[in-house]
Amino acid sequence: MLELVLGGVRSGKSQFAEKRLLQAPAPHAYLATADRAFNAKDSDFAARVEAHRQRRPSDWLLIEEPLHLAAAIQSSSAASLLIDCMGVWLTNLLLHTDGEMLEAELNALLALLERCEQRIIIVSSEVGFGVVPAGELSRRFVDQLGLLNQKLAERAERVWLSVAGIAQQIK
């Protein structure tokens, strides 16, 4: 079963997804898409990662995979898996791969989600409420993430939208 949790920055989407994972069958895994090496000089980002780490129960398996998400999901033996977050993963792909690899990774993830038997909760940023960005890379990010969110929502059994710490089921 797939669930998608959408929301803006600091909307409470990750905390809500963590609560949903606690209600799912164990063992649990947290798949972090951030890469410490990519973000080593960003102290604000490091603080966010640390806050997430401190919130997680100690018995959750931590998987860190910045690029090859489908492969990481396939290799996990967890019954339930939280993936946080698609925006960071897409940023990694845009900055550190070519267009061909980006498409291959997106397609691999979507294909896997069609047949995966694990309980998967995916966190993603909702980018559809903002203005069209001025820069080319920013536009590519918003376009790609918006399309990915649509494809994930289509496959998900449940979709949640988190705003100001309040999550509402929209599918």
pLDDT of residue 45: 73
Consecutive sets of 10 residues in the chain, 171 residues long: mean pLDDT of each? 96 97 98 79 75 84 96 97 97 93 98 96 94 91 97 98 98 98
CA distance linking residue 76 with residue 92, whole number of Å? 21
CA distance linking residue 99 with residue 97, whole number of Å? 7
Residues contributing to the annotated binding site:
7-14, 32-34, 53-56, 64, 84
pLDDT of residue 38: 63
Buried b (16+ CB within 10 A) or exposed e, 133-145: eeeeeeeebbebb
Residues contributing to the annotated binding site for GTP:
7-14, 32-34, 53-56, 64, 84
Q: Which domain holds residue 102?
A: 2-169
pLDDT of residue 40: 63
CA distance linking residue 60 with residue 124, whole number of Å? 20
Indicate which residues carry an active-site annotation.
Answer: 52
Question: What residues does 64 pair with on adjacent strands?
Answer: 32
pLDDT of residue 132: 86
| Tokens of residue 127, six digits | 């980018």
CATH number at residue 58: 3.40.50.300
pLDDT of residue 42: 75
The answer to whether 94 and 144 have CB atoms below 8 angstroms apart is yes
**Cis-peptide, bond into residue 116, ω within 30° of zero:** no
Nearest CA-CA partner of 8 in 120, 147, 168, 164: 164
pLDDT of residue 39: 65
| Single pTM value for the model | 0.93
State the total domains in the chain: 1
